[in-house]
Amino acid sequence: MSKIILTGDRPTGRLHIGHYVGSLQRRVELQNSGEFDQIFIMIADAQALTDNADNPEKVRQNIIEVALDYLACGIDPARSTIFIQSMIPELTELSFYYMNLVTVSRLQRNPTVKSEIQARNFEASIPVGFFTYPISQAADITAFKATTVPVGEDQAPMLEQAKEIVHKFNSVYGETLVEPKILLPENEACLRLPGVDGNAKMSKSLGNCIYLSEEPEDIRRKVMSMYTDPNHIRVEDPGSLEGNTVFTYLDAFCRPEHFEKYLPEYTSLDELKAHYQRGGLGDVKVKKFLNKILQETLEPIRNRRKELQKDIFAVYDILKKGSEKAEQVAAQTLLDVKDAMKINYFSDEALIAQQQERFNNKES
């Protein structure tokens, strides 16, 4: 069986380093591994509209931002198909059929939907489209017969829901859809990178992000103001690693060679942590180290983005070609689905002949 990746992001803002360690970095590695037969990366504008219906301009503006971030991180359009969700009408049609296989109570129990409803104060008036977006996400995944979906941890309930739809569909209509597997980051710190303020979630609305396109001075400022251990007041005080954002970021970004380069008096992160916990290591020193690592990581991405920004026409062309290619694949799956559901009236000659027969028999 072919190995196929499908994943994507809502275009509601520029992508940040949480996206990077949570999923983008992995996608690029998987792409470059050559292990996959096909890779689809989707800009989920239709999903973004499910909770931004009154702000289509925001979604429209951010499509290019996300595309630039993808390309800047190393997604290569020659090896990965980047496309825009709304340009593939087959996805909507698939969603409509899948809706019959999912109950309202099952959607209400979806933990991601639950917490997003709370976060958006939707309790009293949930838009139907928003409520059903896990079904549309199942359509995204299955339309491409994806076997592997590399995403952040928050997407796990979406994958569960998609798998249930696949099972239900296949058991009712016969083996048609492929069961997807989630691929989570291996590194604990990458599962959910906190915001610079220590909040568990890095998000645009909380204003606690470091963006991939962030300028060096802003990266430095954000790192130097990062949340650490509030009880670690003097350098001599023992410090705690628990909920200490600077160390969580080091867990996500630091590699052994960074010590040699930027902090040669330590040989490993464990050693640095032990010193911090013992006391005698100041926050500023650790933050400066993190700043150097982040600068090194983000500089090539920012520079590539600036290059790409010089030819926006070319970037839209990548999206257009990608969307055309993606639509062909989704259209084939839709045909398979409709065949399985027997909604293929005009292409089923046996059916028409049978019906004729039925009416002839009635006559006689």
Q: Which residues bind ligand TRP (CB under 6 A)?
A: 6-10, 44, 47, 137, 140-141, 149, 151, 155
Give residue number: closest CB to ligand TRP. Answer: 44
Give dist(CA 341, CA 100) in Å, integer: 12
Q: Give CA–CA dist 206/196, Å, rounded.
A: 10
CA-based end-to-end distance of the chain: 51
Closest distance to ligand TRP from the beta carbon of 44 (Å): 4
What is the token pair recorded at 59?
């979604």
Q: How far is the CB of 122 from ligand TRP (least distance, A)?
A: 16
R_g (Cα) of the chain, nearest Å:
24
Q: How far is the CB of 224 from ligand TRP (least distance, A)?
A: 29
Closest CA to 254 of 302, 297, 210: 297
User: What is the nearest approach in angstroms of ligand TRP to the Cβ of residue 134?
Assistant: 9
Smaller CB distance to ligand TRP: residue 116 or 237? Answer: 116
- In the complex, least distance from residue 39 CB atom to ligand TRP, rounded to whole angstroms: 12
Nearer to ligand TRP, 194 or 239 (CB): 194
Q: Which CB, 191 or 269, lies closer to ligand TRP?
A: 191
Q: Is 40 left (phi over 0), alpha (psi -120 to 50) or beta?
A: beta
- Min separation Cβ 173 and ligand TRP, Å: 22
Quick one: 3 or 221, whose CB is closer to ligand TRP? 3
Distance of alpha carbon 67 from alpha carbon 134, whole angstroms = 23
Complex with ligand TRP: residue 23 or 213, whichever CB lies closer: 23
Nearer to ligand TRP, 85 or 245 (CB): 85
Asked if residue 193 lies in contact with residue 248, where contact means CB atoms within 8 angstroms, the answer is yes
**Shortest spacing between CB 56 and ligand TRP, in angstroms:** 17
Residue closer to ligand TRP by CB (options 137, 208) is 137
DSSP string, 146-160: -SEEE--GGGHHHHH
Q: Do 334 and 90 touch, CB atoms closer than 8 A? A: yes
What DSSP state is assigned to residue 183?
Answer: E
Q: Which is nearer to ligand TRP, 4 or 223 (CB)?
A: 4
Helix, coil or strand: residue 7: strand
Q: Least Å distance between CB 217 and ligand TRP?
A: 29
Give the integer Cα–Cα distance in Å for 91 and 298: 34
Looking from the CA of 68 toward its CB, the CA atoms found within 13 Å total 24
Across 197-223, b (16+ Cβ under 10 Å) vs e yields: ebeebbbeeeebbbbbbbeeeebbebb
